[in-house]
Amino acid sequence: MVAVHHRTVSVNGLDVFYREAGPVDAPVLLLLHGYPTSSHMFRHLIPRLAEQYRVIAPDHIGFGRSSAPSVEEFTYTFDGLAEVTSAFLTELGVDAYTVYTQDYGAPIAWRLALANPAAVEGVISQNGNGYEEGFVPDFWAPIWAYGADPSPENKAALRPALGREAVEWQYKHGVPDPTTVDPDAWEHDLALLARSGVDEAQLALFGDYHTNRALYPALHEWLRSTQVPVLAVWGRNDEIFGPAGASAFLQDVPKARVELLDGGHFLLESHLDEVADVILDWRAGF
Active-site annotation, residues: 265
Give the list of residues 6+ apart from residue 102 with CB closer than 8 angstroms, or none.
32, 33, 34, 41, 125, 126, 127, 128, 266
Residue 275 in contact with residue 232, Cβ under 8 Å?
no
Residue 193: burial class (beta carbons within 10 Å; 0-12, 13-18, 19+): buried
Backbone angles phi, psi at 121, to 5 degrees: -90, -20
Residue 40 in contact with residue 185, Cβ under 8 Å?
yes
Question: How many CB atoms lie under 10 A from the CB of residue 118?
Answer: 9
Residue 130 in contact with residue 248, Cβ under 8 Å?
yes
Give the list of residues 6+ apart from residue 202 with CB closer than 8 angstroms, or none.
35, 36, 62, 76, 161, 162, 193
The answer to whether the bond into 36 is cis (omega within 30° of 0) is yes
d(CA 142, CA 158): 7
d(CA 231, CA 30): 14
